[in-house]
């Protein structure tokens, strides 16, 4: 039932938008759904409460009810408020002073070691700081140092550690070694520890007292539940963190923990990890995560992804077809191929507005190959006018593509449905003034 | 009896395998007790909701609980406690949960950082304690130094380990390990797989392949396919369990990092909806910090 919260929210907002009329009851209904959506996204109970309160206040203060397009204004307000809860803008690393000294801390398994390598890679490739040193100060987890050493070699960073069990000593000696080394940035990788482990928090305090860190970054899993508040609070109380890095954002967690932690610690979320490879570190964009948490899809990222892999000309052509809905199987094939260039369909769909509700939709990549084969076995005329496909044509196409004839009927039906959907999307476009502009791509309500 | 030596014992942190050997940092729903000291339950419905939400319990289960409180006009803490205990025990005591029997093969899977490798080491401790001979298969060939990590545990406990090379085919490692286990008179094969997000279909297929390799030599009922879940995880835990279950057909779940103050309430929906037993829980970094999961004990502890 609650899995469809984003769908429900979508409905409520569409209703508001469709009629252009908004009442206090509408707003209350919408807020109720937003509340459930946020809780389902693992935003902490108390943070949800204060968020809803603040939206309510603003909707009264801004006189949403009397504005020209109240539905749209309300939607935008919720978005804005959430984005501002998440931090106003993406703030990068503090790179003011050389050498930069960054310490990564967090729970076990949050992704500190991998993130250390990603940060090093980012500094080397994008920040023009080629001389980066990774310090292996996790003396607890077996082979943690070896892991960091291998990753350091892979990204072209120096590696420092010592063969004993005193992490504070390793960190301090690494810091001291800078006197004789030409290094731009040092990243200290620490052992994972629970936020309720006083003894190990003490160890972090010792490191902080001994080394003038530029930043102390909390590495946190996007899948954290309600505990995220305590995680952020306790680490922040212990060593005053300066930022948060959110990991495993390539999963399907909605990432409500981001909101809770930002709100609790009052520090910016600086990056997010989006894959296992060392180049999968992205700047954090509050407005994108805002829509993801609300279950509205990450349209901005989708647009960017499309822009990366589809040429402007292709896109224009497709858009034209889209609007006129004179879309044929030939175009479908082309779209299919373009889509596949973007990556696995499941990931793409999840970025789309309302796509959260499609999470059960199982898209089989093999199935896509079948579809491709079927269309390729059609004549040009059949592709342009699929309605002419009769039983004998169907049998021929089935033979050519190696599937059962029923599969072809199914595809034709699916295509007809898709075409219908496109027609309605083409209409909806009129409500979306500025796709990909500063108001994140008509968040699709 | 051989017990694996903890690699880096921290003073005062040597937890033993016995039951009741650890204490949650904070009582699970201790909050509730305070709530009810000041009036009937119906007046505190919102506070009850808050306590349950903060325990990462599924929203739908919560709404059912709240309705039951209203419907049955439950008015005191004891009443709510009984209702919650009943509901949670029911969910966790699935009829499909057969008594624990030692299986011949354990496949450990889960998302990155859930605690698979450490759990592999801990499980080997349990079986070694029972006099069994264990072999590890280091099938995480992806993460840097994952093999070395398991190797370190293997060395500490004197366990045999079958490994491949970094970046090698994990199914090939498992193939070797299975042959070794069959020929070497071993009682238990523990397969440590690479962490993978449940949304990556290609990696889920790889997991299926690993199981297929095992199935060539062992019947299904001799294999435990266990999902390792971090107790700090929120709603996504269910999504993980669902996807892994669909890909590789799980036989149970292991809840890790339970020494956190996180309540681990997400396992209730997993047990309830997917009918998966929670088999073990772990609560520390020492090799002995693992317990067989006892639903009754878990539920009792919620209200300690």
**Residues B115 and B226 both lie in one domain:** yes
The strand pair at B188-193 and B160-163 is best described as unpaired
DSSP, collapsed to helix, strand or coil, labels residue A430 as helix
pLDDT of residue A363: 57
Q: Are A328 and A383 in contact (CB under 8 A)?
A: yes
Kindly report the backbone phi and psi dihedral angles of residue A227, in degrees, each rounded to the nearest multiple of 5, phi listed first: -65, -15
Mean pLDDT over A41-47 rounds to 94
Considering A125-129, A301-305, B52-56, B135-139, the range whose residues carry the highest mean pLDDT is B135-139
A68-72, A282-286, A297-301, B295-299: which range is least confident on average?
A: A297-301
CATH of the domain at B124: 3.40.50.300
Mean pLDDT over A68-74 rounds to 65
**Residues B64 and B211 both lie in one domain:** no
CA dist A200 to A140, A193, A204, Å? 11, 7, 7
Confidence band for B103, pLDDT divided at 50, 70 and 90:
confident
**Residues B116 and B227 both lie in one domain:** yes
d(C-alpha A252, C-alpha B250), whole Å: 20
The answer to whether B183 faces chain A, any CB pair under 8 Å, is no
pLDDT of residue B17: 39
**Residues B220 and B124 both lie in one domain:** yes
Higher pLDDT, B76 or A7: B76
Q: Are A222 and A248 in contact (CB under 8 A)?
A: yes
A residues 18-57 closer than 8 Å to B (CB): 36, 39-42, 44-45
d(C-alpha A320, C-alpha A314), whole Å: 10
Question: Do the Cβ atoms of A224 and B285 come within 8 Å?
Answer: no
pLDDT of residue B57: 94
pLDDT digits (tens, 9 = 90+) for A248-288: 999 988 899 999 999 999 999 999 999 999 999 999 888 77
Instruction: Quote the percentage of chain B above a pLDDT of 70.
Output: 82
Question: Do the Cβ atoms of B54 and A144 come within 8 Å?
Answer: no
Confidence band for A343, pLDDT divided at 50, 70 and 90:
low
Residue B239 lies in a domain: yes
Mean pLDDT over A332-341 rounds to 73
**Residues B259 and B112 both lie in one domain:** yes
Residue B119 lies in a domain: yes
Mean pLDDT over A105-124 rounds to 97
pLDDT of residue B44: 79
Mean pLDDT over A287-313 rounds to 62
DSSP, collapsed to helix, strand or coil, labels residue B158 as coil
Mean pLDDT over B231-238 rounds to 96
pLDDT digits (tens, 9 = 90+) for A3-25: 344 455 556 566 665 555 567 77
Confidence band for B108, pLDDT divided at 50, 70 and 90:
very high
Contacts A36 to B, Cβ<8 Å: 59
Contacts B12 to A, Cβ<8 Å: 199
Domain boundaries, chain A: 3-86, 100-284, 303-431
Question: Do the Cβ atoms of B201 and A365 come within 8 Å?
Answer: yes
Q: Which of B12, B236, B263 is closest, CB to CB, to A223?
A: B236
Q: Are B246 and B40 in contact (CB under 8 A)?
A: no
Question: Do the Cβ atoms of B262 and A227 come within 8 Å?
Answer: yes
Number of domains in chain B: 2
Question: Do the Cβ atoms of A111 and B113 come within 8 Å?
Answer: yes
Rounded mean pLDDT of chain B? 85
Higher pLDDT, A316 or B117: B117
A residues 86-125 closer than 8 Å to B (CB): 107-111, 114
The answer to whether A191 faces chain B, any CB pair under 8 Å, is no
Residue B10 lies in a domain: no
pLDDT of residue B159: 93
Cite the beta strand spans of A15-131 per DSSP E. Answer: 100-105
The answer to whether B53 faces chain A, any CB pair under 8 Å, is yes
Domain A100-284 fold is: Rossmann fold (3.40.50)
Structural domain for B217, as ranges: 100-293
**Residues B159 and B196 both lie in one domain:** yes
pLDDT of residue B30: 65
Taking the CA atoms of residue A76, residue A81, residue A86 and residue A89 in that order, the dihedral angle to the nearest 10 degrees is 70
**Which letter does DSSP use for residue B171 in this model?**
H
**Residues B126 and B251 both lie in one domain:** yes
pLDDT of B63 > 50? The answer is yes
**Residues B168 and B222 both lie in one domain:** yes
pLDDT of residue A224: 97
Residue B111 lies in a domain: yes
Residue B1 lies in a domain: no
CATH architecture of residue range(s) A3-86: Up-down Bundle (1.20)
Given B55, B74, B92, the domain boundary residue is: B92
Contacts A276 to B, Cβ<8 Å: 112, 142-143
Confidence band for A359, pLDDT divided at 50, 70 and 90:
very low
Instruction: Quote the percentage of chain B above a pLDDT of 90.
Output: 58
- Shortest distance, CA A388 to any CA of chain B (angstroms): 37
Cite the beta strand spans of A9-148 per DSSP E. Answer: 100-105, 132-137
d(C-alpha A408, C-alpha A375), whole Å: 9
**Looking at the DSSP assignment, which residues form a beta bridge with residue B257?**
none
CB A209: neighbour CB atoms within 10 A? Answer: 10
d(C-alpha A71, C-alpha A239), whole Å: 44
pLDDT of residue B297: 78
d(C-alpha B28, C-alpha B37), whole Å: 17
Contacts B114 to A, Cβ<8 Å: 109
ipTM exceeds 0.85: yes
**Residues B208 and B287 both lie in one domain:** yes
pLDDT of B1 > 70? The answer is no
Higher pLDDT, A60 or B116: B116
Token pair 């790889």: residue: B206
pLDDT of residue A316: 63
pLDDT of residue A2: 33
Kindly report the backbone phi and psi dihedral angles of residue B196, in degrees, each rounded to the nearest multiple of 5, phi listed first: -150, 140
Higher pLDDT, A18 or B174: B174
- Shortest distance, CA A223 to any CA of chain B (angstroms): 6
Mean pLDDT over A375-392 rounds to 88
Residue B248 lies in a domain: yes
Mutate to test the interface with B, among A226, A230, A358 (most CBs of B within 10 A): A226
pTM: 0.78
**Which letter does DSSP use for residue B100 in this model?**
P
Higher pLDDT, A313 or B192: B192
**Residues B69 and B141 both lie in one domain:** no
From the list A414, A306, A291, A417, the residue with the least C-alpha distance to A10 is A291
Q: Are A186 and A93 in contact (CB under 8 A)?
A: no
pLDDT of residue A234: 97
Q: Tokens representing A33?
A: 């759904």
pLDDT of residue B29: 61
**Residues B115 and B230 both lie in one domain:** yes
pLDDT of B46 > 50? The answer is yes
pLDDT of residue B13: 31
pLDDT digits (tens, 9 = 90+) for B124-140: 988 887 778 999 999 99
From the list A149, A144, A112, A122, the residue with the least C-alpha distance to A134 is A149
pLDDT of A33 > 90? The answer is no
Environment class of B202 (CB within 10 Å of its CB; exposed 0-12, middle 13-18, buried 19+): exposed
Residue B14 lies in a domain: no
pLDDT of A81 > 90? The answer is no
Instruction: Quote the percentage of chain A above a pLDDT of 70.
Output: 72
Considering A305-319, A419-433, B76-90, B162-176, the range whose residues carry the highest mean pLDDT is B162-176
Q: Who's near A98: CB < 8 A, 6+ residues apart?
A: A184, A185
CATH architecture of residue range(s) A303-431: Orthogonal Bundle (1.10)
Question: Do the Cβ atoms of B53 and A42 come within 8 Å?
Answer: no
pLDDT of residue A90: 65
Confidence band for A445, pLDDT divided at 50, 70 and 90:
very low
d(C-alpha B165, C-alpha A326), whole Å: 54
The answer to whether B115 faces chain A, any CB pair under 8 Å, is yes
pLDDT of residue A444: 29
A-B interface: how many C-beta pairs under 8 angstroms?
A: 152
Higher pLDDT, B288 or A83: B288
**Helix orientation angle between B236-248 and B201-215, rounded to the nearest 10 degrees:** 50
Mean pLDDT over B254-266 rounds to 91
Mean pLDDT over A177-188 rounds to 96
Mean pLDDT over A159-182 rounds to 96
**Residues B143 and B250 both lie in one domain:** yes
Confidence band for B203, pLDDT divided at 50, 70 and 90:
very high
A53-57, A321-325, B202-206, B212-216: which range is least confident on average?
A: A321-325
């Amino acid at each position: 039932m609650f899995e469809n919260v984003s769908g429900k929210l979508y409905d409520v907002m569409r209703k508001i938008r469709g009629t252009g009329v908004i009442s206090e009851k509408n707003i209350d209904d919408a807020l109720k759904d937003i509340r459930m959506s946020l809780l389902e996204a693992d935003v902490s109970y108390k943070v949800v409460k204060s968020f809803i309160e603040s939206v309510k206040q603003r909707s009264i203060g801004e006189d949403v009810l009397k504005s020209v397009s109240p539905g749209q204004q309300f939607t935008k307000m919720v978005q804005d408020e959430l984005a501002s809860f998440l931090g106003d803008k993406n703030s990068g690393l503090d790179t003011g002073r050389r050498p930069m000294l960054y310490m990564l801390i967090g729970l076990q398994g949050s992704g500190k070691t991998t993130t250390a390598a990603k940060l090093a890679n980012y500094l080397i490739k994008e920040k023009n700081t080629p001389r980066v040193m990774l310090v292996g100060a996790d003396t607890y987890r077996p082979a943690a140092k070896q892991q960091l050493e291998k990753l350091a070699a892979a990204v072209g960073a120096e590696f420092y550690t010592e063969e004993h069990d005193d992490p504070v000593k390793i960190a301090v000696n690494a810091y001291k070694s800078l006197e004789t080394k030409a290094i731009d940035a040092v990243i200290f990788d620490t052992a994972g520890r629970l936020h309720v482990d006083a003894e190990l928090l003490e160890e972090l305090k010792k490191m902080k007292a001994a080394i003038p860190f530029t930043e102390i970054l909390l590495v946190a899993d996007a899948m954290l539940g309600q505990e995220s508040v305590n995680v952020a609070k306790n680490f922040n109380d212990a060593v005053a963190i300066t930022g948060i890095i959110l990991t495993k954002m390539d999963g399907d967690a909605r990432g409500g923990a981001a909101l809770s932690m930002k709100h609790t610690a009052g520090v910016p979320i600086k990056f997010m990890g989006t894959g296992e490879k060392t180049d999968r570190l992205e700047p954090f964009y509050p407005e994108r995560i805002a829509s993801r948490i609300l279950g509205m899809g990450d349209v901005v990222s989708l647009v960017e992804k499309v822009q990366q892999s589809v040429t402007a000309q292709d896109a224009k052509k497709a858009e034209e077809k889209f609007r006129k809905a004179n879309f044929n199987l030939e175009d479908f094939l082309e779209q299919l191929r373009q889509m596949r260039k973007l990556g696995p369909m499941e990931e793409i769909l999840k970025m789309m507005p309302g796509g959260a509700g499609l999470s059960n939709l199982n898209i089989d990549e093999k199935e896509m190959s079948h579809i491709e084969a079927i269309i390729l076995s059609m004549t040009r005329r059949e592709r342009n006018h699929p309605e002419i496909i009769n039983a004998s044509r169907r049998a021929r196409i089935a033979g050519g593509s190696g599937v059962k004839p029923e599969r072809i009927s199914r595809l034709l039906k699916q295509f007809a449905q898709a075409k219908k959907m496109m027609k309605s999307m083409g209409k909806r476009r009129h409500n979306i003034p500025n796709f990909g502009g500063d108001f994140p791509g008509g968040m699709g309500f | 009896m051989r017990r694996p030596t903890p690699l880096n014992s921290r003073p005062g942190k040597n937890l033993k395998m016995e039951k009741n050997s650890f204490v949650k940092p904070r009582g699970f729903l201790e909050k509730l007790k305070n709530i009810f000291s000041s009036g009937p339950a119906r007046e505190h419905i919102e506070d009850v909701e808050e306590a349950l939400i903060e325990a990462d319990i599924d929203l739908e289960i919560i709404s059912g609980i709240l309705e039951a409180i209203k419907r049955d006009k439950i008015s005191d803490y004891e009443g709510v406690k009984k209702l919650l205990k009943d509901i949670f025990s029911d969910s966790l005591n699935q009829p499909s949960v057969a008594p624990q029997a030692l299986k011949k093969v354990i496949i450990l899977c889960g998302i990155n950082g859930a605690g698979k490798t450490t759990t592999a080491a801990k499980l080997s401790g349990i079986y070694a304690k029972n006099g069994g001979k264990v072999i590890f298969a280091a099938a995480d060939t992806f993460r840097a130094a994952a093999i070395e990590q398991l190797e370190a545990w293997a060395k500490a406990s004197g366990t045999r380990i079958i490994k491949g090379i970094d970046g090698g085919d994990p199914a090939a490692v498992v193939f070797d390990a299975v042959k070794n286990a069959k020929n070497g008179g071993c009682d238990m094969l523990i397969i440590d797989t690479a962490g993978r997000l449940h949304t990556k279909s290609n990696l889920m297929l790889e997991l299926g392949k690993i199981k297929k390799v095992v199935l060539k030599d062992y019947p299904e009922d001799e294999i435990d396919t266990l999902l390792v879940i971090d107790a700090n995880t929120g709603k996504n835990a269910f999504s993980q369990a669902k996807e892994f279950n669909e890909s590789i057909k799980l036989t149970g779940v292991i809840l890790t990092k339970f020494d956190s103050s996180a309540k681990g309430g997400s396992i209730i929906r997993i047990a309830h909806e997917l009918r998966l037993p929670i088999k073990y829980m772990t609560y520390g970094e020492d090799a002995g910090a693992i317990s067989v999961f006892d639903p009754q004990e878990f539920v009792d502890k919620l209200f300690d």
